[in-house]
Each structure stands twice: as structure tokens, then as C-alpha cells.
Structure 1
Amino acid sequence: MKALILNGGSGNGRGEACRKIKDAATQEFRSRGLEVTAYDLDGMNIKPCRGCFACWVKHPGTCAIQDDAENVVRSIVASEVVLWITPVTFGGYSSALKKALDRSIPILLPFFIKVHGEIHHPQRYEKRRKILAAGTLANPDGEAPLIFHGLVRRNAINMASLRTETCVVSENADDAAAADAVRGLLLAAEIS
């Protein structure tokens, strides 16, 4: 089984908690026998989606922009578990993670289907995955975690996730707290 970690943390202080989560997740996945691929998105050459839909109409399944996002998308398609890690900003993702997720639309088809009364795009590939997300917060914020959980769940529906679990960790968390958060995610997602 393959696990993919998309670390949207930056190289500055806000990214330190994300790095701790990434390191803990790598160790936890490997201890469960999963093959792990991890990307530190902030240091990669991933340009923003242009919204040109070339990935749907000109060359289906392939983005017109040739950069590091191509490898990220291939890894998403090949994985059974994907973990998104990001500082939570106004309840949302870091720009690095947002760009990578936006650029993953080639895994969808340009058609529409109805799922539980909602309109969605069908998946291009049969393989489905579990999507986990770990956010970090600098200071307690009553609404940001709720917004983050909701955003992740909505995005996971669009990606036809088999299971979706989220957590939010303090940016001041030590290695043990990061590891506990990751173990909690894996337990909730039934990844043993």
C-alpha cells in the first residue's frame, strides 16, 4: 500500500510544526508497512492553475503546465492514502498546498454526475484513496478548525475519498504531540 504526504508548510517558523507532523507520519506509515512518498510543496516548482481546462479538453488527464505538479498528481493517483499537511490560514490551506490541490483536477473527468443529491465530476481513474489532513494553528481560534474540517471534507468528496479524517494541532506542539495527532488520524481512518 502506498501513502503520499503533501506537506504545505513553509520553510519559516510556521512550517516547523508541519515538518514535525510529516516526520511523524512518515514513521507511522512505514511502521504499518506502507511505502511512503513525501513532498515538501513550498520548495517545489508548482505554478498556479490557469483554469484553462486543457487537462480536460486538449490533452485529457495531463496539465498544460509542465512543472513539479506532474509528479504530485501521479503520486496522488498511485496512492491509497494521502495526507495533506498545512498551516491553517483563515480556515484554509497554505498557498503551496492549495496550488498542488488545484493542479490535481486532471484526475477528474469534465462530465457531471449526481452524488447524494449534489453535482460532482466523476473520477478519471477507478482507484480511490483515503484522504487525511493535519492542520496547524498558531493560536487557539474557535472557528478556524471548524472551517478547515469542512473544507477538507468538501474537497475530499470531490476526490471521491473512501474515508476522510482531519485534525488540528498547535504550532507549538512538540514531536510527541505531533506523533499522537498522526496516530489519532490513522486510527480514525482504520489504517493499521
Structure 2
Amino acid sequence: MRLIVHDLAEQDFNTWLGGFSRDTDEIIGEQETIRHCVGCFGCWVRTPGTCVLNDSYKHMGERLAAYEEYVFITRNVYGGYSPFVSNVLNRTLPYVLPYFLTKNGETHHQQRYERQIRFTVHFYGEGMSEAERETARSLVRANALNLDASGYKVSFHDTLNSLKEVQ
């Protein structure tokens, strides 16, 4: 099962990505209301593993741990995720612990859950520069490493039509 986060209009999602199954995949779209992470670290200190913001995203860490794959379908914004997709990623902070360890000479968070996920990101948008693509690759690699993903994949799509290949 996959947790799929996208910023497409519902009609575009249904048109271009109809192959994803709402029966076996959890799909989060931009139409849903999400509060912004305020960086209070309450999910680590006050209510470990649970965001202190009381909305449907307060258990994102636990929800993410239940899936085999975390999939983003996002507009490329200067080599990064769209604001909505970035916000959902921020709300998964409870997925990791506030303690650190060193991996490959870099400092990263310890994992709260034993299960590893795969991390897949599909960037779309016309006219992505090579610098934006390289920034995006680096960002996904860093996020995958911090999420302790078992693997990651980055794809670029110049048109929504090319998203039909995504499943």
C-alpha cells in the first residue's frame, strides 16, 4: 500500500492518475484542509509521535509507518516541492525521533518505527532547468535518507500527459 500526496486538481488527478486505487492506496490531495507545522516540536516533547495541531494530519507519522511507499506528485517549485506537498511532509515530523545519529558522516534523526518505506517523487512542470532538477534530486535524496527509506526514485514530467505513466 502507498501513501500518495499530490497537488493536482481533483479532475486532473482522476484524468491522469486514475490507475492509483483509492481502495488500496491512501490519497491526499490539495483539496483537503491542513494546518501548517509551526515548528514547536510538540510532536516530540509534549505528545510524542502525535502532532499537537488538532486536525486530520495529527497522526501523519504513524500513518506513514503503515505504508510500504510514500509517493509525491508535485509541481516543481524552484527544485522543491509545492507548498501543499511540502506542508504534508513537514507534518510527518513525528515519524522520526528527536535524537540524532550519524549516517555516512551526516547527522540524521533516529527512527521511531522499525519499518522502512520507499520514497518516490514525481515532479511535473514545463521548462524545468537542469539546476532545478539537480536541486530536486538532492532534496529527495536528503529526505529519503532522513526518513530512513529503503530506496528512493525521482522522476520528471514536462507535461501532465506524461504522468499517465505513473502508477
Q: Could you state the TM-score of these two structures normalised by the residue count of structure 1?
A: 0.78
Which residue number in structure 2 is paired with residue 5 of structure 1? 4
Could you tell me which amino acid in structure 2 is paired with residue 111 of structure 1?
A: Y
Alignment of 1:13-28 (within 5 A): 16=12, 22-24=17-19, 26=20
Which residue number in structure 1 is paired with residue 163 of structure 2? 178
Which residue number in structure 2 is paired with residue 188 of structure 1? none
String of CA shifts for 1:87-120, please: whole Å, max 9, x gaps.
0010111110011101111111111111111111
For the 8 Å contact 1:54–1:64, the answer to whether it is kept is: yes
Could you tell me which amino acid in structure 2 is paired with residue 8 of structure 1?
A: D
Residue in structure 2 matching 1:130, options 102, 107, 118 = 118
**Distance verdict in 2 for CA 1:87–1:43, change over 3 Å:** same
**Distance verdict in 2 for CA 1:35–1:114, change over 3 Å:** same
For the 8 Å contact 1:132–1:165, the answer to whether it is kept is: yes
For the 8 Å contact 2:97–2:109, the answer to whether it is kept is: yes
Alignment of 1:1-192 (within 5 A): 2-9=1-8, 11=9, 16=12, 22-24=17-19, 26=20, 35-40=24-29, 42-70=30-58, 72-171=60-159, 173-174=160-161, 177-180=162-165, 182=166
- Tell me the matched-pair count: 167
- Matched residue SS, 2:135: helix
Could you tell me which amino acid in structure 2 is paired with residue 178 of structure 1?
A: L
Percent same amino acid at aligned positions? 27
Partners of 1:56 and 1:21 in 2: CA distance: 38
Structure 1 runs (4+) greater than 6 angstroms displaced: none
**Distance verdict in 2 for CA 1:167–1:75, change over 3 Å:** same
**If each structure's strand is expressed as a fraction of its own residues, which one has the higher value?**
2
**Distance verdict in 2 for CA 1:131–1:151, change over 3 Å:** same
For the 8 Å contact 1:5–1:22, the answer to whether it is kept is: no
Q: CA deviation at 1:72?
A: 4.2
String of CA shifts for 1:150-190, please: whole Å, max 9, x gaps.
1111111110000000101013x42xx3233x26xxxxxxx
- Matched residue SS, 1:82: strand
Q: Could you state the TM-score of these two structures normalised by the residue count of structure 2?
A: 0.89
Which consecutive unaligned segments of at least 5 residues does structure 1 have?
184-192
Which consecutive unaligned segments of at least 5 residues does structure 2 have?
none
For the 8 Å contact 1:83–1:132, the answer to whether it is kept is: yes
**Distance verdict in 2 for CA 1:62–1:140, change over 3 Å:** closer
